[in-house]
Amino acid sequence: MPLSVLTWSEVKSIYDDRVAVHRKLLNLHRAGVSKTFAELALGISDPTGNYSAAEHNLGPQIMRENGRAQNRVHALAGDLKDVQRGTDAPPIIYGAGLSKLKIGVGSELSCMMNPEVCWVANTRTIWTHLVFKHRGNIKRANEELALYRNEDETSEMAYNKWRAIHRELAGSLPNIAADGARKAKAARVRAGAIVYIWADAICTSLYSHHNE
């Protein structure tokens, strides 16, 4: 099974770090400290704030290429914090019109602000979803992942493609989280209580195990 390779204490450590940053982001957002908030939310001051942005060095580009970037990121985060359905996140992210901030970075922002409702659709979660979809076939997962790798796509076709895979993750990530919870329990590690952050920690760990 795909998750049998993981060390569950390490997965839990990733989860704990993400939850701590989630709480910090909420506090910064509430306090209205837009610059400090945006730098964390875009993975500039700490990669844990947004793996997608940090991995591709998108944070500085987003800040540089968008007028009033820190205020607009702060406003977008507020909109995402208030959504009632995770599937509402993609149109909000695209509607913000921020260069270099598409569903990969934006969905991660949505999860870090509103993890009870929103999930991450980035390289790590999509890849893990595809590994499960293809019953552990890493080669097929890698081939299909290539369809989602370009964070710079802005066409309608690209948006529809990302929105479709984002919707698929709504069903698969809770299953991945539940499978991980069972394996963590067997390893005497307490699973994370916030399902979408726990699933993200599993995906991050599995992707790193096979690709880094």
136 Rama sector, left if φ>0, alpha if ψ -120 to 50, beta otherwise: left
Cα separations in angstroms, 172 against 132, 168, 178: 8, 7, 10
Q: What's the pLDDT band for 155 if we cut at 50, 70, 90?
A: low
Residue 103's nearest CA partner among 140, 144, 50 is 50
Q: Alpha-carbon distance 65 to 16, whole Å?
A: 32
Q: Is the Cα torsion angle 109, 112, 181, 5 positive or negative in sign?
A: positive
Residue 153 has pLDDT above 70, yes or no: no
| Location of structure tokens 């997962």 | 141
Is it the case that residue 148 has pLDDT exceeding 80?
Answer: no
pTM for this model (two decimals): 0.94
Does 152 score more than 80 pLDDT? no
Q: Is the pLDDT of residue 51 over 60?
A: yes
